[in-house]
A and B are shown apart, each in its own frame.
Chain A
Amino acid sequence: MLRTLMILLSVGLIATMSPAGIVDGPHNMAAEGYDITNDEVCLPCHTPHGSSEDEYLWNQTIPADTAITVRDGAVLGHVSLMCMGCHDGVTAISASESGMTVAADAALGTDLSKDHPVGVDYGSSYRRAPAEPIRGGRMQGVKVVVGQNPDGTDITKDLPLYHRDDNGTGLEQVECATCHTPHTDAQDLLRVDNAGSTLCTGCHTAQ
């Protein structure tokens, strides 16, 4: 009885603590025996610092407990790089085969009819909705109108753009996480449902 109560309490805690939907969605990759209350469902993407008393035997200039950091020096933003680490056709469906063209991939080809580029500057141009501050001004993004409040004001969802200092242009870029989020069980893990092309026209405006 007490055990059931504890489990129910834990489930209740999860519902309030963890990002909604990931536990029920396809990004819950925890195996049997995983302790969800310890946020272990977050581990595949959110690598912790890791507590370690080990030192590198062959590199004593790096003290124990020093973390390797990844800079954005590499071709594609670190957000998309992380997604593609599993979406390579092995652990999960390949990003390239599902219609995403990685800007850095050599095989862009000339037929982009089913592709959407990733790792490209959003830019400000004709037929593009403006990027504006989102998430309390921490980053830039595009606000997509998804409905109306009873008082007539817009309900919007944010599509974040990712800034990379070293990409030469210093502009905001479209990454996988601009349109997709793993913290959900929504169809195709989209931030905005694309019924009526709502997601597409959020950025690609008519004028």
Chain B
Amino acid sequence: MKRITVISWLAAAATVLCAALGGCAHNVNTNTPAVADNPPVFFPPAPEEPHVQFLCNLSGSKNFEKPQGWLERFILGERPPSEKTIVKPFGVAVHDGKIYVADSGSACVAVLDMVSQSFETFGTTDPGRLKTPINLCFDGEGLLYVSDTGRNQVVVFDANRTYVTAYGRDENFRPADVLVLGNEVYVLNILEHNILVFDKNGRELKRTIGSRGREPGQFNYPSNFTADRDGNVYVSDSLNFRIQEIDSEGTPLVHFGKPGRTPGCFARPRGIAVDRDGIVYVVDSGLHVVHLFTHDGKPLMFIGGAGEKDGQLVLPAQVTVDYDNVDLFRDYFAPDFHAKYLVLVTNQIGKNKVSVFAFGARKTVASPTPQ
């Protein structure tokens, strides 16, 4: 009887001490409190059936700071602020529990490590010193490719963040985006309105896709591209105000979109992503939304809207979808919403650098498929 009392007294003391020292928080401290404190933000908003839930905003080291406990503050004093923040994000990719962001404002790749809860940067030392990193992608072996319009090269880093090589010493291009499909590296050359395809191992130029114009298969200032699981490429053909799907040889397959502010139209299409069921996400930096379309171009809905409140966007740049790391944000899921995959959007201006959403459905309804 006495032994149990002593143990329970010790346990109680330990709990108090733990809480006093700042808690054993599992949650990432994002700019948004966990969902329990705020009503969840859904798109489309009620009374429509929700398909996307806003989860949280991330900006840098502030998201991983544990709040200082009263005991620590009493003994050590107020902890001085030491915040490191993403400055001007563009491309974003999720890999192995970490969110990688191309930050042209700090000329680096910023890494939000959601597992170890830390914020780091790299790409700031020669020979891998970045100048204007815009977009990035991983290949199947974990190598990171960064398209840099200041260096006019695609810079490659390995899993240890060590510089490996750079594409573009001989060719004259401005790489707005980069994709690795199989053994080929695709570089979106916004300067010449075409796509250069390199051999991944030998780095020689294999073929050039596209030219400037408005016919299918031609582009006008194409700013971003992505690929689906069949290896087809979706190009955000910005100043033709359309999305074009082409195959690996450049044969035009599908295109949709026209200039405007009504459903199915674009003001300034930029970043692009495709989910496994063919839903196409298109960032519109003019309307500050991300449009969702069916594979053949029927408008489904949009998320965002201009502003800094939860779920809003400011000068959004890029969007990416991720199926493998959904659980990292489970603390933010609304209780009746089943999250299928993450949708991350970067904002070039304002305090919300990376906005994290989840695509899914209400738990009582089966996952919707587009008509």
- In the complex, the answer to whether A65 meets B262 with C-beta atoms within 8 Å is yes
Q: Are A106 and B85 in contact (CB under 8 A)?
A: yes
Contact of B262 among A51, A75, A86, A88 (CB under 8 A): A51
**Residue contact A96 to B301, C-beta cutoff 8 Å:** no
Contact call A48/B286, Cβ cutoff below 8 A = no
Would you give the 0/1 interface string for B313-326, flagging 1 where the beta carbon is closer than 8 Å to chain A? 01101000000000
Q: Mark A76-107, 1 if CB is under 8 A from B, else 0.
A: 10100110111011110010110000101111
Can you show 8 pairs from A to B with CB atoms below 8 A apart?
Answer: A29-B221, A56-B44, A65-B263, A74-B312, A76-B314, A84-B349, A88-B88, A107-B106
Q: From B90, B223, B268, B350, give the contact of A104 (CB < 8 A).
A: B350
Q: Using Cβ atoms and an 8 Å threshold, which residues of chain A touch B149?
A: 89-90
* Interface of A (DSSP majority class): loop
Residues of A within 8 A of B306 (CB): 70-71, 73-74, 78
With A31-B212, A43-B241, A59-B301 as known contacts, state yes or no: A75 contacts B308, CB within 8 Å: yes
- Tell me if A49 and B294 are in contact (CB < 8 A): no
Report the minimal beta-carbon distance from A79 to chain B, rounded to whole angstroms. 12
List residues of chain A with CB within 8 A of the CB of B19.
Answer: none
- When distances are taken between beta carbons in the complex, the residues of chain B under 8 Å from A86 are 268
A67 touches B261 (CB 8 A): yes
Of all chain B residues, which has the CB nearest A55?
Answer: B263
The answer to whether A56 touches B263, judged by C-beta atoms less than 8 angstroms apart, is yes
Residue of A nearest to B259 (CB): A43
In the bound complex, CA of A89 to CA of B285 (Å): 15
Main DSSP-derived SS at the B contact region: loop
Contact yes or no, A31 B287, CB < 8 A: no
Separation of A29 and B259 alpha carbons in the complex (Å):
14
A78 to B268, CA, bound (A): 14
Which one of B44, B214, B292, B317 lies within 8 Å of A33 (CB-CB)?
B214
Pairwise interchain contact B263-A62, C-beta atoms closer than 8 A: yes
A17 at the interface (CB under 8 A from B): no
User: Assuming A71-B306, A104-B349, A107-B87, is B261 touching A50 (CB within 8 A)?
Assistant: yes
Task: Give the docked Cα–Cα distance between A44 and B240 (Å).
Answer: 9
Encoded as 1 (CB less than 8 Å from any A CB) or 0, chain B from 221 to 244 comes to: 101000000000000001111000
Q: A31-B218, A90-B149 are in contact. Are A49 and B261 (CB under 8 A)?
A: yes
Q: Knowing A32-B212, A43-B259, say if A90 contacts B223 (CB, 8 Å).
A: yes
Residues A57 and B44 in contact, CB atoms below 8 Å apart:
no
| Cβ-defined contact, B239 with A31, below 8 A | yes
B153 CB–A CB distance under 8 Å: no
B137 within 8 A of A: no
Binds A, one of B45-53, B71-79, B154-162, B200-208: B45-53
B314 touches A75 (CB 8 A): yes
Residues of A within 8 A of B238 (CB): 91
Pair B239/A44 contact, Cβ less than 8 Å:
yes
Cβ of B220 and Cβ of A29 under 8 Å apart?
yes
Chain B positions within 8 Å of A94 at CB level: 104, 132
- Select one of B134, B287, B300, B348 contacting A57, CB under 8 A: B300
By the criterion CB–CB under 8 Å, are A33 and B213 in contact?
A: yes
Q: Judging by beta carbons under 8 Å apart, are B349 and A81 in contact?
A: yes
The answer on a CB contact under 8 Å between B259 and A91 is no
Closest chain A residue, CB of each to CB of B215: A33
In the bound complex, do residue A56 and residue B261 qualify as a contact, i.e. CB atoms below 8 Å apart? no
Name the residue of chain A whose CB is nearest to the CB of B313.
A74
Please tell me if the beta carbons of A85 and B299 are within 8 angstroms of each other in the complex. Answer: no
Q: What is the minimal beta-carbon distance from B315 to any residue of chain A, in angstroms?
A: 6
Residue in A69, A75, A78, A107 whose Cβ sees the most chain B Cβ within 10 Å = A75
- Whether B298 lies near A57 (C-beta < 8 A) is yes
Question: A198 near B: Cβ within 8 Å?
Answer: no
For the complex with contacts A57-B371, A105-B105, A107-B87, 7 further pairs of A-B residues with Cβ separation under 8 Å are A34-B214, A50-B262, A74-B308, A85-B270, A91-B221, A96-B88, A102-B349
- Chain A residue at smallest Cβ distance from B285: A85
CB distance from B367 to the nearest CB of A (A): 13
